[in-house]
Amino acid sequence: MADTKIPLLHVQSSGTGTPVLLIHGFPFTSRMWQPQLHGLADAGQILAPDLPGFGSSPAAPPPHSVDELAHACMAVLDAHGISGPAVVGGLSMGGYIALAIARLYPQRLRGLMLLSTRAGADGAEAKANRDKAIATAQEQGPAPAGEGMFPKLLAPGNYDAQPQTAEELKAIMAGATTEGVVMALTAMRDRPDSTPLLSQISVPTLVVHGEEDQVIPKSEAEAMAAAIPNSQLQIIPQAGHVPNLEQAAEFNKIIASFVASV
């Protein structure tokens, strides 16, 4: 059982079968998984929590860390009566939490999905930028975090090609609170380097990345896939940092195939 001080997270769910936990990125909410909640209901039991201070989940007390968020996500499985192994996937910040779950709860993993993410920790410059963003959120609220990221979230051509996706992203990011943004930035700033963990991951692992990701370079995905023994890498063309929204049909096909295989 997961031991956490964080209140039980709000969860959207659909489908039955193999449990699949999807952890959203920053500064998003579980709403980012709508195409998966609809499109993967035949593939398994899809569970998409709102992290603390995002969407419908209350803020969490400090200290804030990816380990605390991992405990809170596993408490979601406990609350749904899922004690056996599940497929755990996370996008971007959600991937950092998924890697923490792989380290803390290896026995509860049936498969791991690392989506638009990286294994390394923040360097000095990135940490300094997180501190600036925390100060900005404390002074101006949650909006600047999303506004700063928005121009880099989609593949460059998709802002014109998929205006509805761009608008949906803005609506999703409106579900962030100041407390949530500060919590997430703190947890990301202080997260450990997961690179040494990669060679120890024994469950089947799927690494998915957008060909045109402007937030995390594709090379990070290639490096993770090369280091994880039982892994496969899928690069999605004409997609940036949120391939699950930009190329939902292709993304869902890849996920459904992976879930069926584990």
Percent of the chain surpassing pLDDT 90: 98
What is the reported pLDDT for 1?
77
Strands 86-91 and 205-210: unpaired
Question: Residue 230: how many CB atoms within 10 A of its CB?
Answer: 12
Q: How many helices (H) and strands (E) does the chain have?
A: 12, 7
| Contact between 185 and 137 (Cβ < 8 Å) | yes
**Helices (DSSP H) in the chain: which residue ranges?**
34-39, 66-79, 93-104, 124-140, 143-153, 158-161, 163-173, 178-189, 195-198, 218-227, 243-246, 248-261
What domains can be seen in the chain, in order of their start residue? Answer: 11-261 (3.40.50.1820)
- The string of pLDDT tens digits covering residues 8-58 is 999 999 999 999 999 999 999 999 999 999 999 999 999 999 999 999 999
- The string of pLDDT tens digits covering residues 75-122 is 999 999 999 999 999 999 999 999 999 999 999 999 999 999 999 999
What is the reported pLDDT for 209?
98
- The string of pLDDT tens digits covering residues 241-252 is 999 999 999 999
Q: What is the mean pLDDT of the chain?
A: 97
What value does the mean pLDDT take over residues 165-172?
98
Q: Where residue 221 falls among pLDDT bands split at 50, 70, 90? A: very high
For the full predicted model, state whether its pTM sits above 0.95.
yes
**β-strand partners of 14:** 46
What is the reported pLDDT for 241?
98
What is the reported pLDDT for 147?
96
What value does the mean pLDDT take over residues 203-231?
98
For the cut 90, the answer to whether the pLDDT of residue 2 exceeds it is: no
What value does the mean pLDDT take over residues 205-229?
98
Tokens of 130: 């997180």
